[in-house]
A and B are shown apart, each in its own frame.
Chain A
Amino acid sequence: MSGDIVITVNGKLHTVQSTPDTPLLYVLRNEIGLNGPHFGCGGEKCGACMVLVGAEPRLSCHLPVSEIGRARITTLEGLIEEGELHPVQRAFIEEQATQCGYCVNGMIITTAALLWKNPHPTDEQVRTALDGNLCRCGSHLRILRAVRRAELLMSGKGSE
């Protein structure tokens, strides 16, 4: 029966009205009104729907909401703290890494997770982490530069 599932999204509790097998993406978008995660392929191939489940970047377009349990969900919107952009978000602006912007959610979520786990990744580690995020505008090189800028910002070495 719907109504039994409670999830934590961006620090707030939400009682889910959808059926338990509903993918998390649609709960976030249609029930909670979060537009950071996007529908891109519906087949776990593009990365547009990514969210953080705990500290893990997860594709949400097939992930049943019933599997979330007590894990804390963070979306692109939830990276903002008290009106301050997350360093990865700032880095994407400063490196002009967005074009159409549709992939940016997944790119930022993946980057944030990577840099938490590994504050100074190698180029290969960065590319491997971002391999599941498609970008049709071909912003990859700018995104890679944004990851490096975010690395500096997060380690306190970035300029304002």
Chain B
Amino acid sequence: MTTSIGESVPRIDARDKVTGAALYSGDLVRADMLHMKILFAGRPHARVVSIDSSAAESLPGLAAIYTARDVPFNEYGLQKRDQPVLCSPSQHAQGQGVRGDIVRCEGDQVAVIVAETEAIAEHARDLIKVQYEDLPAVYDAAEAMKPDAPRIHPEVGDSNVCVLDKIRKGDVQSAFARADVIVEGEYHTPYQEHAYLQPEAGLAYIDEAGRITVECAGQWTHADRESIAHALGLAEEQVRVIYPAIGGAFGGREDLSVQAVLALAVMKLKRPVKIVWSRKESIIGHGKRHPMTIKTKWAATRDGKLLAAETTVIADAGAYMYTTNKVLGNCTITATGPYFIPNVKEDVYGVYTNNVPTAAFRGFGAPQALWMAEIQMDKLAEKLGLDPVEFRHRNALREGDTLNVGTPAPGKVSIVQCIEAARDRFGWSEKRSLSTDPQSTLVRGRGFACGFKNVGFSFGYQENSWARVELHGKTEIDHVVVWHAGAEVGQGAHTVMAQFAAAATGVPFEKVTMVTSDSATMGNPGSASASRMTFMAGHAIKGAAEKALAKWKAEERPAISEYTYLAPKTTPFDKETGYSTPNLSYAYAAQAVELEVDLETGFIKILRVVSADDVGQAINPALVQGQIEGAVVQAEGYALTENFITKNGHILTDQLSTYLIPTVLDIPDAVESVILEVAEPNGPFGARGLGELPFLPLAPAIAGALHDATGVWFNEFPLTPERVLRGLGKIK
């Protein structure tokens, strides 16, 4: 029996992508298609008093203008239905979860315009007159926590605090009292924009079975369907969501963008409707990575053992919940790094403001927490006179050590192996080549950091994923058809799924066909997020294949089976102590970085990154390497160039000319992937998750290297030349 597990088979979508045959949602067309534009609020906090669309309605070619009045249940939200589909006056504004006539951020959608051409829709949008009554607004999360701050959602709770996670483990006070070394710090982490190259786009129509069908880019077909159906007052079966090729996601497509309004227009007009967002609409219209302020105090003993960590996190949730509660749950867990700390106290706040909502983004709260935790580790090591890698190694989680939630991580804990692998490949212990030219303004430094990340949804959610496997043939299996609705966002999920099916049925990879991403013909795949798809889909396909093989042996032709994988159970945080078993699996990583900084210009060049990532089992090593290299580049942008600027609730960096993601000239000279395979006993064929993992350690590893080069700690980033020069005291 051949198996394709562990082989770098070519991606099944590669040929279509290099020839232009792959269709993304913006490529789709239908006869008799209308075009949609959205009127965004463009202001951070206001009551919509009235909308006058009379001039727009008289335009030839206009099909319809919809406002909140037209939305049956004007509310949505992945974790909490706290956002109106459209913000405008409505006769049924009362009695729902959220007031529909209030704008809470500039990206709120006020009205949608549908016309025969895009130009007419745009013209009509500009003719709509909206009367706003501006409301007092708040743009700073700490300010928003004050009792007299303007309230963003006065209908819920008694403050703008929308999330509070607590950890109480051991006794931090007595630990600090007996500590030999204490390091305190305050850290600030920035927004990050997903900047997927494909802006939001979709085509909606009524399919042959009469279903309202939305083809778009997303991360979870069935969650999109549920949100659309709820807002439109339809049964889920009356709505269908299909994903064609997706031009990147990174968490930014977890929440709705164009889906509900497209479906609304099709429901009313019974004609196909298409929308493509501009880059500015994309940047204003979807959530960002949470900016956080983190205050912390860590203690260790003289011989280099961590004793205690006390941390307060304030995260800007923006105007709506999106996935803030889950992001902060993960931030809470990772705020002690992959280290054993016996005494921990944490208070982690998510706070509503009138800023752009913050949402899922690769790493999901861990990059912010690890920026703090890993720099704290470096500072403690320096104070103790210990090598920072040795200090990490000494405190790294071992089998059975409890996390800050009071229970050990399930599965094999492999952070020690990751540290050793990154250390050895990098040559950390070897003698260092210092800057040779004393006249040069270029100085080199090296840094090291670790990370870990949950695999799969957690905190008590019953993880699941569905698959269907068909075995066709007579005496031998000729070909295998796999049905799975999981999103291919570029990571290679569909290729990996085919590899799982080949391995589970014993046929060559080439004989597997994938049928994918359609909510009408497939069960719930779960989201392409939380580094979960390989893990969950692998189990689902393996389960379905085993059932189908049993039928095959019983002479059924074709042999067809469906299977829903149910993952081991998890538990939510205890409200007061955080005690829980919140996750079913973790993955671990360590990275070493060498950089060069120009003391005159403040410009940083990353020379070399070694990334050691334990993936349990690499299903497709080339794709694993692609994820590692890609995450490193994206994290480099987060650390160095991506300076997302807002002012009074307005996003100022709303173009790719002002929000700078790394280009081929910015990327590290070399990224060396060290793929570890410490089998995960819970994982399919031993696999863990990967997508987010290599993103996590890079920013703090760069901070460590910059300190190594300059002697200066930077607690805030991105490390733009200006910030570096300010830190070096060269400019004010």
Identify 24 residue pairs between A and B in the complex whose beta-carbon atoms are under 8 Å apart, listed by A's number. Answer: A34-B20, A35-B21, A37-B20, A41-B199, A41-B655, A48-B197, A76-B20, A89-B18, A93-B18, A96-B8, A98-B17, A99-B248, A100-B245, A102-B197, A127-B665, A132-B663, A134-B195, A136-B248, A136-B250, A137-B626, A139-B629, A140-B633, A141-B667, A142-B629
Does A59 interact with chain B (Cβ within 8 Å)? no
B626 and A99 form a contact (CB under 8 A): yes
Which residues of the other chain, B, contact A77 by a CB distance below 8 angstroms?
A: 19-20
- State the CA gap A84–B281 with chains docked (Å): 39
A136 near B196: Cβ-Cβ < 8 Å:
yes
Contact between chains at A96 and B11 (CB < 8 Å): yes
Q: Is the CB of B246 within 8 A of A93?
A: no
A102 x B623 contact (CB < 8 A): no
CB of A46 closer than 8 Å to a CB of B: yes
For B622, what are the chain A residues with a Cβ–Cβ distance below 8 Å?
A: 96
A-B interface contact total, Cβ < 8 Å: 161
For A108, give the chain B residue with the smallest CB separation.
Answer: B18
Q: Choose one: A46, A75, A131, A141; the contact of B197 (CB below 8 Å).
A: A46
CB contacts (< 8 Å) of A104 on chain B: these are 17-18
Q: Is the CB of A100 within 8 A of B489?
A: yes
B24 touches A96 (CB 8 A): no
B663 touches which one: A42, A131, A142 (CB < 8 A)? A131
Judged by a CB distance under 8 angstroms, whether A138 is at the interface is yes
Is B233 part of the contact surface with A, judged by Cβ < 8 Å?
Answer: no
* Chain A residues packing against B (C-beta within 8 Å): 29, 34-43, 45-46, 48, 75-77, 80, 85, 89, 92-94, 96, 98-105, 108, 127-128, 130-144
Tell me, in angstroms, the Cα distance from A37 to B197 when the chains sit together.
Answer: 12
Instruction: Kindly identify which residue among B17, B198, B631, B657 contacts A138, using a CB–CB cutoff of 8 Å.
Output: B631
Q: Which residues of B contact A142 (CB under 8 A)?
A: 626, 629
The answer to whether the Cβ of B656 comes within 8 Å of any Cβ in the partner chain is yes
Q: Is A134 a contact of B14 with CB atoms below 8 Å?
A: no
CB pair A39–B199 under 8 Å, yes or no, is: yes
Cα distance, A98 to B366, chains bound together (Å): 27
B residues near A (Cβ < 8 Å) are 8, 10-11, 13-24, 26-27, 194-199, 245-250, 276, 278-279, 489-492, 622-623, 626, 629-634, 655-657, 661-665, 667, 671
Given the known inter-chain contacts A42-B278, A93-B14, A104-B18, please indicate yes or no for A134 contacting B197, CB distance below 8 A: yes
Contacts of B248 in A (CB 8 A): 99-100, 102, 136-137
Does B198 contact A46, Cβ atoms closer than 8 Å?
A: no
Contact between B632 and A138 (Cβ–Cβ < 8 Å)? Answer: yes
Residues of A within 8 A of B26 (CB): 38-39
The complex places the Cα of A140 from the Cα of B622 at a distance, in Å, of 14
Known A-B contacts A36-B20, A43-B657, A104-B18; the reply to A141 vs B195 at CB < 8 A is no
The distance in angstroms between the C-alpha atoms of A98 and B623, with both chains bound, is 10
Q: Is there contact, CB below 8 Å, between B664 and A92?
A: no
B656 & A96 in contact (Cβ 8 Å cutoff) = no
Report chain A residues within 8 Å CB of B491: 99
Q: How distant is the Cα of A40 from the Cα of B22 in the complex, in angstroms?
A: 16
* Residues A46 and B19 in contact, CB atoms below 8 Å apart: no
Q: Which 7 A-B pairs have the closest CB atoms?
A: A100-B490, A36-B20, A138-B633, A101-B17, A138-B630, A102-B247, A99-B490
Question: What would 17 more interface pairs be, CB under 8 Å, given A130-B664, A136-B194?
Answer: A35-B20, A35-B21, A35-B27, A39-B276, A42-B278, A43-B279, A76-B19, A85-B18, A99-B490, A99-B492, A100-B247, A100-B490, A101-B22, A102-B24, A102-B197, A102-B248, A136-B248
Q: Which residues in B have their C-beta under 8 angstroms from that of A135?
A: 197, 664
B279 touches A144 (CB 8 A): no
Q: Are B247 and A101 in contact (CB under 8 A)?
A: yes
Which of chain A's residues have a CB closer than 8 A to the CB of B10? 93-94, 96
A87 to B: closest C-beta gap in Å: 11
- Chain A residues with CB under 8 Å of B250's CB are 136
